[in-house]
Structure 1
Amino acid sequence: MSHYIMCEVPVFCWITAVVLENMLTTEQREELPTTLTDMYSHFLMVQTKRKKNKYQHDHETSPQELTETDREVLLKLGRLAFKHLEKGNIMFYQEDLQQCGLDVTEVSVYSGVCTEIFRRECEIFQKPVYSFVHLSVQEFLAAVYVFHCYSNMMVNVIEDFLKCDMKNPSLDEFLKMVMEKSLQSKTGHLDLFVRFLHGFSVESNQRLLRSLLGQIEMKLGMIQRAINNLKEINIKGVSPDRSINIYHCLMEMKDLSVHEEIQEFLKSENKSEKELSVIHCSALAYTLQMSEEVQDEVDLYLYKTSDEGKRRLIPAVRNCRKFKLPEQCGLSEIDYEIVASALKSNLSHLMELDLSYNDLQDSSMEVLCSGLKSPNCRVQILRLVKCNLSKISCEALGSALKHNPSNLTELDLSQNKNLQVSGFDHLCGFLASPDCRLKILRMNTCCLSDMNCEALVSALKSNPSNLTELHLSWNRDIQHSGFLHLCDFLKSPGCRLQALKLRACKLTKISCAALVSALKSNPSHLTEVNLSDNSLQSSDVQQLQDLVESPSFKLQTLRWQFW
């Protein structure tokens, strides 16, 4: 599980090959690496050993043996790695090396760890630039250096990093502070670094890197307290993607309890009865996200967990066909960025997205729309019932759907009461698009007016042949003139509407007569009409009932009584 996410990174495959080749071609009988920290620790020692054989012509030695020179150079590289990891730098100049006590000769000897590349700084001369072979190697060496500073009581380095006064914290306290520090990062640039630090708490890695990491006092229960800290940490506002790193840290510490509990949960038949902690949810989200099998549906409402737990499950959206949020789950812009990333992915599987009954702020809607407008977006069904869409949100949605109109077949915007005053025209722009393939439009309880009906009909007549269901129930402001516009659409020769739902719209006998006239003009498609809750008498709908009974018309179902 720890290696799975890295398997598509070429440099990691090379690192793995280097380590396994060494372990299989020597007489060492060590346990094979099971975590990233294991793998990178072995890689560092193997590269150091190869350097010694190449440049110093030493006899074959155990890879755990480091000379004092090796140790000093590696720690200098670690200092360089850590100093620039904090700043987000991956390239360094000669003066950066010199500040850490390194010279070019030392770096070139450690060619498996740090390579020289050249980049033109200006048109007059070239300036040598240095980098580690991969960012993960920089993160690993930075963790080596920081763990060394902790074990050797180099308080100033740790205090400058954590921005707090140190009072000889135990290892579990130190790891907790580092984790909290990393979760404050918006970019996640310390995530792998923190995973390595937790991995160094494992005895086998301390033994392998003992000359680099130094000795620490392992008090009784310290490791278990560190594990418990990871399981219980709950920082509000942290992206669910970032929270998964907490689970990764548990794996680096070789605590498999959460992993095993999630595997048992996935096999259980009554998943809704099992209560999940937030760390369980992070583990489950990661497991579902990385599964080779695409999930048919992820409905967060079905999981028995806290609101924070449901939020941590959101990354599973990247590997499912249907995704449904629970009501009023209070997601932030950060959370919707994950949904948007799933829509943008060139491997996107998401076909149905239901965010109903969540108050979508404008900033969150704009993030979501960045995914909906992506050419990779494959969503066919979008439900945004009672999301309190504003004018800005409607404009963003209409623009996004116009950018990518051909996939969406069903749109539900019911109970967004601001549509009629703010964003209706923007949505009509999408409906009028020649590439629009929408089949089902639900706009129940949207306070639509006669003017809205006119704009809607104008849009639909621009592209009339796709829409098969139109739901406009509980729009009580639609008056007779608005209904006449709808009837005008039904008369359109390109109209293919099969179901028209107009419950509780204050329709009258005159409205029924207009509908009869429209159906007689274009009788071949409409099969269902719902006029319930409109205070109609049997005499008002008699002509419509006659159409139901006539073999010349497709109309099969007429509902007009109070339910």
Structure 2
Amino acid sequence: MVFKFLGPAAEEACQYLTGIVGENPLLLRELNLSGHKLGDTRVNQIAALLQDKHCKLNTLLLRDCGLTEESCSALATVLTSNSSLKELDISNNNLQDSGVKKLQNALENTNCTLEKLRLSNCSITEEGYKALASALRSNPSHLIELDLTGNDPGQSGVKELSDLLQDQKCHLKQLKFLGPAADEACQYVRGIVGEKPLLLRELNLSGRKLVDRNVNQIAALLKDKHCTVNRLTMNNNSITAEGCAALTSAFNSNPSNLIELDLSGNKLGNSGMMKICRLLKNTQCRLERLKCVLTFI
């Protein structure tokens, strides 16, 4: 006797996945296909399986699978038809804003019950952030965790989503923008200035004795695209040539925001000044004011 549960596309996906994970996908609650280059055809098949009522997956991990905008269309259909799926990780795929907009339509749908969405390193820009914010305003009750680490929010992306945390209707509890080092720096700086550094345009840390570890943390924060500080004052902070190297490396990685920099009263040395000179040669550098009165004692 043969029991048939699935349609042709879902059955083909079921056989394909059984070959990868060694188990019947209909019996799984978590499916990890990260690193497998699936292509749109496989994603469409997997989507057909996930839409079937016999599939009870609640966690789907598709990191670095070569997903595209078309893949997002297939996954969006899943999100509106499969109430058991609670966690989706599609990080490290080149989804871009066009892919996010496909997901936006699903996230706005009241049938979507997804709770955790990870979109780190997906080439998402300000437009994509706005699309996600719009979706969560339209349907605020389900998503509790959103990871956007490694993307580029532009000038308003961080604020668009951070404002949602103040909305009592929005259940979002964890909004992740930063990697571990930058996040630690964010907490450290917030303890000093009393505000979220990602929402600041001007940061003044003058007079604080910063060891190299603190400077490296701050550099990790300034390097991240989510940080849009354009005026930075770090005079008399005991910054050394090593600290200056970390800061200038950060500015070279994220040069377009900074227009004013004060590093006076620090022991930068000749090597530190050479690093600053190289920064000024960066064609993307928008620095308008630089203050570097040095201390050699």
**TM-score (norm. length: structure 2):** 0.54
In the other structure, the counterpart of 1:336 is: 72
**8 Å contact kept, 1:380–1:409:** yes
The equivalences for 1:30-49 within 5 A come to none
CA offsets per residue over residues 503-532 of structure 1, 9 Å max, x none? xx99788499xxxxxxxxxxxxxxxxxx99
Residue 397 of structure 1 aligns to a residue whose secondary structure is helix
**8 Å contact kept, 2:58–2:84:** yes
Q: Which amino acid aligns with 2:178?
A: N
**8 Å contact kept, 1:394–1:426:** yes
In the other structure, the counterpart of 2:162 is: 428
Confirm or deny that 1:297 pairs with 2:6: no
Residue 436 of structure 1 aligns to a residue whose secondary structure is coil
Q: Which amino acid aligns with 2:77?
A: S
Tell me how large the CA RMSD over aligned residues is: 4.5
CA offsets per residue over residues 483-509 of structure 1, 9 Å max, x none? 524379xxxxxxxxxxxxxxxx99788
**8 Å contact kept, 1:307–1:329:** yes
Where do 5+ consecutive residues of structure 1 fail to align? 7-242, 248-257, 275-283, 446-470, 489-504, 513-530, 537-563
Q: How far is 1:310 from its partner?
A: 4.9
Confirm or deny that 1:484 pairs with 2:193: yes
CA offsets per residue over residues 375-432 of structure 1, 9 Å max, x none? 122211111111121222111100111222222222211111x214242232123222
In the other structure, the counterpart of 1:461 is: none
Aligned partner (choices 530, 534, 539) of residue 214 of structure 2: 534
Q: For 1:428 and 1:511, how far apart are their aligned partners in 2? A: 31
Residue 486 of structure 1 aligns to a residue whose secondary structure is coil
Q: How far is 1:444 from its partner?
A: 0.7
Confirm or deny that 1:439 pairs with 2:204: no
Q: For 1:340 and 1:302, how far apart are their aligned partners in 2? A: 21
Residue 405 of structure 1 aligns to a residue whose secondary structure is coil
**8 Å contact kept, 1:370–1:400:** yes
Q: For 1:362 and 1:487, how far apart are their aligned partners in 2? A: 26
The equivalences for 1:59-458 within 5 A come to 244=9, 262=15, 266=18, 271=20, 288=25, 291=26, 293=27, 295-301=28-34, 307=39, 310-311=42-43, 313-315=45-47, 316-318=49-51, 319=55, 320-327=57-64, 329-333=66-70, 335-345=71-81, 347-416=82-151, 418-444=152-178
Where do 5+ consecutive residues of structure 2 fail to align? 198-202, 217-297
Q: Which amino acid aligns with 1:428?
A: S
Q: Which has more radius of gyration?
A: 1
**8 Å contact kept, 1:443–1:473:** no
Aligned length: 206
Q: How far is 1:367 from its partner?
A: 1.2
Provide closer, same or farther for how the CA distance between residues 5 and 391 of structure 1 changes in structure 2, counting only shifts above 3 A. same
**8 Å contact kept, 1:298–1:317:** no
**8 Å contact kept, 1:343–1:371:** yes
Q: How far is 1:441 from its partner?
A: 2.5
Q: For 1:511 and 1:400, how far apart are their aligned partners in 2? A: 44
**8 Å contact kept, 1:317–1:323:** no
Of structures 1 and 2, the one scoring higher in RCO (CA 8 A, sep 6+) is: 2
Residue 393 of structure 1 aligns to a residue whose secondary structure is helix
In the other structure, the counterpart of 1:473 is: 182
Q: Which amino acid aligns with 1:426?
A: E
**8 Å contact kept, 2:86–2:115:** yes
Q: For 2:157 and 2:58, how far apart are their aligned partners in 1? A: 29
**8 Å contact kept, 2:9–2:45:** no
Q: For 1:405 and 1:424, how far apart are their aligned partners in 2? A: 17
CA offsets per residue over residues 179-211 of structure 1, 9 Å max, x none? xxxxxxxxxxxxxxxxxxxxxxxxxxxxxxxxx
Provide closer, same or farther for how the CA distance between residues 389 and 244 of structure 1 changes in structure 2, counting only shifts above 3 A. same
Q: How far is 1:533 from its partner?
A: 3.7
Q: Which amino acid aligns with 1:329?
A: G
